[in-house]
Each structure stands twice: as C-alpha cells, then as structure tokens.
C-alpha cells in the first residue's frame, strides 16, 4: 500500500508539471497559485474579473456587468466611452 501511495504521489507531481499556472497577481501582489483554464493564461477567478466591465458607476462603485466580447466595457458603458469602440488587447 505504501508503494502504491508513493507511485500516486509521483504521478501527481509529474501531472502538475504540465499544468499552466495563472499569470495574474493576487490582491497582496503575489502570484496566483491556481491552474490556468485550458488554452488560457488565467484561472477561472481571474478570467471572470478580466471579463468584468471596467467602468465606474455614478455612485463610485465598479460596474458589475460583464464586458462585451473583446471589449473593456458592458453594453451600457460602451455607448458612453469613445475608447470602448476598440477591442481590448
């Protein structure tokens, strides 16, 4: 049984070597430790944040809507932002 656990542990280490780590930084400035989504550079949490509208609402809070595909702003804020016409890089 002990030999089987050692083999499984070695397999787990080898498997994680192929996993791509999220490239985002955490709130404290350290690297994110989550695995990136397949074919992407960000984990599920940071991909969701990146897809959020970047506008600030009238009351000073960040807009909670999702940005339009390829853009930085939601449907509503994209209308009022001249730079929103160009997709985000």
pLDDT tens across 13-67, in order? 555 556 789 988 888 999 999 999 888 888 988 888 778 898 999 999 999 898 8
Q: Determine the distance from the C-alpha atom of residue 78 to the mean position of all C-alpha atoms in its chain, rounded to a whole number.
A: 21
Q: For 57, how many CA atoms within 13 A lie in the half-sphere containing its CB?
A: 8
Alpha carbons 70 and 34: distance in angstroms, whole number: 24
Residue 75 tokens read as 């449907």
In terms of DSSP H, where are the helices of 1-89?
A: 2-16, 44-50, 75-80
Q: Which two tokens stand for residue 34?
A: 């989550």
The model scores a pTM over 0.85 = no
């Amino acid at each position: 049984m002990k030999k089987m656990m050692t083999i499984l542990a070695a397999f787990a280490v080898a498997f994680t070597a192929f996993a791509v780590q999220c490239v985002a930084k955490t709130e404290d400035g350290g690297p994110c430790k989550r695995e990136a989504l397949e074919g992407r550079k960000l984990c599920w949490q940071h991909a969701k944040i990146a897809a959020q509208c970047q506008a600030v609402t009238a009351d000073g809070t960040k807009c909670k809507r999702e940005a339009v595909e390829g853009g930085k702003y939601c449907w509503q804020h994209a209308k009022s932002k001249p730079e929103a016409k160009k997709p985000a890089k």
